[in-house]
Amino acid sequence: MGDGHADPRRRVPRTDALLAAPRLAAAVRILGRDRVRAAVRQAQDRVRRGELDPEQATEAALAGLPPAAPRAVLNATGVLLHTNLGRAALSDGAVAALVAAAGHTDVELDLDSGRRARRGRDALAALAAAVPHAEAVHVVNNGAAALVLAATALAVDAEIVVSRGELVEIGDGFRLPDLLTSTGARLREVGTTNRSTLADYADAVGPRTGFVLKVHPSNFQVTGFTSAVPVRSLAGLGVPLVVDIGSGLLAPDPLLPAEPDAASTLRAGASLVTASGDKLLGGPQAGLLLGAAGLVDRLRRHPLARALRVDKLTLAALAATLGGAGTPTRDALHTDPAVLRARTERLRDALAADGRKVEVVPAVAVVGGGGAPGVELDSWALSLPERYARPLRTGEPPVLGRVSQGRLLLDLRCVPDEADAAVRAAVLAVAVDD
């Protein structure tokens, strides 16, 4: 008769012992006891079947837990505002503000008086300070919501005069005309796809006009035989002028001379400017409304504004973004290519020391996120065989690069300096031969 103690299936770890393991106990606090217990039982069953040694049960249970969602990734694509990666990475200050706002906050309370206060007053004050030319400001939950609120409040049963060349598709099948007409407004299209004149707008403006809308075609360019009417000219038509600048640039940036900004647009005579907070501003997803006090107040008081209001986390992150020293988006945009090259070469040398054959090659980075189309930023990248792409993308942490001409390019422009070691470890973990 055999010795039962030699059979590892007889030594299945007890459930309470496994749940007490530090990493599983930490998982219980995040995922709940029932989900972790289910993963533990699966690991125990594998031990009973002889598929695992008893000592491997804890690791197996951890591996069986659902992954954190969403997963943090390292963006080595060379796209600053990658829509599939959540666009702007938040600053350290914004992240700290999010953590603080996760508990009870003074989001609608004046601690001094003990009375109710205006919701999000810190974020609104920071936005107003960032764009002094705006008489008033308001924040909703995204850029599309800002336009919907404007159309609903200012053009219900009225017409929005807009150039045919600016009736864009926002992305993922959402088209601006559909968005605007869903509010009950009617569109009065003027001009042609490539050319619109001031006379086209003037002929269309009349008693039924709610406002004139000018949209920056931020995700494409039309070149050649084209003409568009500047904001300054449209401001003289005698009706409100709403300008959607899209990208969230609040002030001019010398690297983006063709990208409209809120301050310049208001100075040119716009009645209302709408923009996104999670693009070039480098903050959380939000829709920004800046402009004439009467119009902004009218939008703020509209019943739809309640449905479009932002939560306390967004308000906290937006205030910290506006009041902070900088953002990862701005840092990535203004990275010196020479500094980036030196950093990339150091990583190449570290990989070469471990026997990996990699090259440093010139690359081109872009803004992305529907901003600054056509702008190319000189950059540098590590060049690896294309077969590295999937293992890096599915590793821990996931490292996303850009496949081009049979090579995988890893551009460090949007990767934090302190994450270079993680990129090196991820590359070394790929079990393929060069």
What sign for the dihedral angle of Cα 7, 10, 16, 19?
positive
- What values do phi and psi take at 173, rounded to 5? 85, 0
d(CA 212, CA 139): 21
Q: Domains for the chain: give ranges and CATH numbers.
A: 14-63 (no CATH), 74-84+331-428 (3.90.1150.180), 92-325 (3.40.640.10)
Residue 325 confidence (pLDDT): 84
> What backbone torsions phi and psi does residue 196 show, to the nearest 5 degrees?
-135, 145
Beta partners for residue 263, in sequence order: none
pLDDT the model gives residue 208:
95
The Cα angle at residue 48 between residues 46 and 49, in degrees rounded to 5: 65
* Tokens coding 286: 């939000």
pLDDT at 131 over 90: yes
Please report where in the chains the tokens 């009870």 appear, as a residue: 104
CA contacts within 13 A on the Cβ side of 371: 35
What pLDDT, on a 0 to 100 scale, did the predictor assign at position 246?
Answer: 87
Closest CA to 299 of 369, 211, 375: 211
Residues 317-338 have pLDDT tens digits of 999 999 998 999 999 999 999 9
pLDDT tens, residue by residue, 59-77? 999 989 987 678 899 999 9
Question: How many of the other CB atoms lie within 10 Å of CB of 171?
Answer: 12
Q: What is the pLDDT of residue 71?
A: 86
Q: Could you tell me which residues are beta bridge partners of residue 216?
A: none
Output the pLDDT for position 39. 94
**What confidence category does residue 263 fall into, taking pLDDT thresholds of 50, 70 and 90?**
very high
Q: What is the pLDDT of residue 4?
A: 47
Cis peptide before 70 (omega within 30 of 0): yes
What's the CA gap between 62 and 72, in Å, rounded? 18
Residue type, 346: R
Three-state secondary structure string covering the chain: CCCHHHCHHHHCCCHHHHHCCHHHHHHHHHHCHHHHHHHHHHHHHHHHCCCCCHHHHHHHHHHCCCCCCCCCCEECCCECCCHHHCCCCCCHHHHHHHHHHCCCCCCCEECCCCEECCCCHHHHHHHHHHCCCCCEEEEECCHHHHHHHHHHHHCCCCEEEEEHHHCCEEECCEEHHHHHHCCCCEEEEECCCCECCHHHHHHHCCCCEEEEEEECCCCCCCCCCCECCCHHHHCCCCCCEEEEEECCCCCCCCCCCCCCCHHHHHHCCCCEEEEECCCCCCCCCCEEEEECHHHHHHHHHCCHHHHCCCCHHHHHHHHHHHHCCCCHHHHHHCCCHHHHHHHHHHHHHHHHCCCCCCEEEEEEEECECCECCCCCEEEEEEEEEHHHHHHHHCCCCCEECEEECCEEEEEHHHCCHHHHHHHHHHHHCCCCCC
337 prior amide bond cis, ω within 30: no
Nearest to 10 by CA among 43, 39, 47: 47
Length of the chain: 434
pLDDT per position as a tens digit, 97-109 = 999 999 999 999 9
Average pLDDT over residues 233-257: 94
- Do the Cβ atoms of 137 and 298 come closer than 8 Å? no
Better-scored residue on pLDDT, 89 or 434: 89
Q: Phi-psi bin for 316: left (phi > 0), alpha (psi -120 to 50), beta?
A: alpha
Q: Which amino acid is at 213?
A: L
Q: In whole numbers, what is the pLDDT of the chain averaged over residues?
A: 92
pLDDT at 7: 61
Packing angle, helices 121-130 and 312-323, rounded to 10: 30
